[in-house]
Structure 1
Amino acid sequence: MREIVLDTETTGFDPLQGDRIVEIGCVELINHLPSGKVYHQYINPERFMPDEAFKVHGLSDQFLADKPVFAEIVADFRAFIGDDPLVIHNAEFDMKFLNAEFARLGFAAMPMSRAIDTVIMARKKFPGSPANLDALCRRFEIDNSNRTFHGALLDSELLAEVYLQLIGGRQPGFELGLAGTKGGAQVQVVRERREPRPHAPTPEETEAHMAFVAKLKKAIWLREPEPEGSGEQA
């Protein structure tokens, strides 16, 4: 199963007011685990960078000036994400920006049903607790010490680890082999020998048992043993 963990950085909060995407980061998951394939692209937004947005991601007008515009990267981006589910933290935000960029170029919008929103997942799993990415990294003991600024690729990599924990985490391995064993785990079973416990009935128990059996009809304890070889032939 292929999924794409995705994050964007933008010039603001509202694409309908002229805000644009300035960075996209994606991490490919196969069966919920990173495959090693990523997509990362800085984008010239064709507009100035507000100070408030610069303080969040640190991407300046000067840095983005020579980067490609969205129309130049859209084919590679669409090819990378394909038709697979998109794992996004606060999916509504990123989806509205991506769909706004697609609309400018005449592409159909992606449906929200395609997105797996990890904010919603976290709030269901931990109601009343903070659901931002930093808080979830702390909860799951994921190292986010490099996150001095918001960055689309770094945030996607962190989100991939958070997502794995939200859906149940890694299955623990069976550490059955001896240390240093090569070629797979080997099971070593150690059995503790115990002395046999006495189990013969007392004379009183035997007498009580026989008195009980005497009251039964056709009790198996009173049957005569059949001679060997007297059973029916198959």
Structure 2
Amino acid sequence: MRLIMLDTETTGLSPLNGDRMVEIGAIEVLNRKVLSGDRHVFHHYINPERDIPAEVVRIHGIDNAKVKDAPKFRDIAQQFLDFIDGATLVIHNASFDLGFIMNELHLGGFADIRHMPVIDTLAFARKKHPHQKNNLDALCDRYNIERGHRELHGALLDSELLAEVYLAMTGGRQFSLGMDIPSLPASSFAQMPEQSRGRVEKAETATLMRRKSLSIPHEDAAAHQSMLDRIHKESGGQCIWKHAEAGASATCN
């Protein structure tokens, strides 16, 4: 079984808010063996075409200067698609990384990967180790995987650690049939950008529609009307709120 361990670093938490990728790292695992060499590794820093917030730089150490001359994702997208072709993606918290990758592919006009098989190791870890911390650091500690060299988040380093964590959670490096975690299509974890926006907008609208109508005390309404009358008088009849009220009244009539 050919697996691609994958991780990304980004400018923030949501592509729907304009956040972009700044690094992508992926490593090939074949028949439970982590492969080495350039053709088995995909790694690029990426120019996100926007500023990287200081609070995010503190997490992964990638600032504007570091990616100023890096390729844009559309420049490497086809290489990425060729690298993952025919494999199963293994991602820790798949919905996060896939959301960014699918957004970038959409922006560049490339083929989507909604049908690609994906394994989410975070979901699996939560089932295997309920009520415990299951981030990558915690899993490395639980399975005695060395991570002392991980001072900051990094897509390639985290992909390497993820490979070790995945193998440890599924029985080690010894090949065994039926040992791997079942996969789901990428669309199970992340929607295409236009679908995601629609769901977010519907959720926001639904929240507004569920709000109870405001009830304004009579004395507050009277004080408000008195203030409008005063503004209207002192402005020589230029109070726009009074004009709005008159227009609304005429429409109702």
Question: Identity over aligned residues, as a percent?
Answer: 52
Q: Does the aligned pair in 2 maintain the 1:92–1:112 contact within 8 Å?
A: no
- Give, in whole Å, the separation in 2 of the partners of 1:161 and 1:125: 16
Query: CA shift at 1:112, angstroms?
Result: 6.9
Indicate the residue corresponding to 2:148 in structure 1: 145
Moved over 4 A (4+): none
Q: Does the aligned pair in 1 maintain the 2:77–2:110 contact within 8 Å?
A: no
Coordinate RMSD, CA, aligned: 1.4
Alignment of 1:185-204 (within 5 A): none
- Give, in whole Å, the separation in 1 of the partners of 2:46 and 2:35: 25
- Give, in whole Å, the separation in 1 of the partners of 2:82 and 2:174: 32
Indicate the residue corresponding to 1:128 in structure 2: 131
Query: CA shift at 1:171, angstroms?
Result: 3.8
Indicate the residue corresponding to 1:23 in structure 2: 23
- TM-score of the two chains, using structure 2 as the length reference: 0.66
Q: Could you say if the C-alpha distance between residues 112 and 168 of structure 1 is closer, same or farther in structure 2, counting changes exceeding 3 Å?
A: farther
- Give, in whole Å, the separation in 2 of the partners of 1:133 and 1:60: 23
Q: Is the aligned partner of 1:39 residue 2:42?
A: yes
Indicate the residue corresponding to 2:14 in structure 1: 14
Q: 2:121 aligns with which of 103, 110, 118?
A: 118
Indicate the residue corresponding to 2:80 in structure 1: 77
Alignment of 1:158-177 (within 5 A): 158-171=161-174
Greater C-alpha radius of gyration: 1
For structure 2, the residue ranges without an aligned partner over 5 or more in a row are 176-253
Q: Is the aligned partner of 1:5 residue 2:1?
A: no
Q: Does the aligned pair in 1 maintain the 2:33–2:173 contact within 8 Å?
A: no
Deviations 1:114-149 (A, max 9, x none): 210000111111111111000000000000011100
> Secondary structure at the residue paired with 2:35?
strand
> Secondary structure at the residue paired with 1:83?
coil
Q: Does the aligned pair in 2 maintain the 1:71–1:105 contact within 8 Å?
A: yes
The one-letter amino acid paired with 1:70 is: F
- Give, in whole Å, the separation in 1 of the partners of 2:110 and 2:79: 14
Q: Does the aligned pair in 1 maintain the 2:2–2:29 contact within 8 Å?
A: yes
Deviations 1:50-69 (A, max 9, x none): 11211110001011101111
Q: Would you say how many aligned residue pairs link Structure 1 and Structure 2?
A: 172
For structure 1, the residue ranges without an aligned partner over 5 or more in a row are 173-234
> Secondary structure at the residue paired with 1:68?
coil
Q: Does the aligned pair in 1 maintain the 2:47–2:72 contact within 8 Å?
A: yes
Query: CA shift at 1:71, angstroms?
Result: 1.1
The one-letter amino acid paired with 1:42 is: Y
The one-letter amino acid paired with 2:109 is: G
Q: Does the aligned pair in 2 maintain the 1:95–1:110 contact within 8 Å?
A: no
Query: CA shift at 1:75, angstroms?
Result: 1.4
Q: Is the aligned partner of 1:107 residue 2:106?
A: no
Deviations 1:194-228 (A, max 9, x none): xxxxxxxxxxxxxxxxxxxxxxxxxxxxxxxxxxx
> Secondary structure at the residue paired with 2:9?
strand
- Give, in whole Å, the separation in 2 of the partners of 1:23 and 1:140: 26
Q: Does the aligned pair in 2 maintain the 1:23–1:42 contact within 8 Å?
A: yes
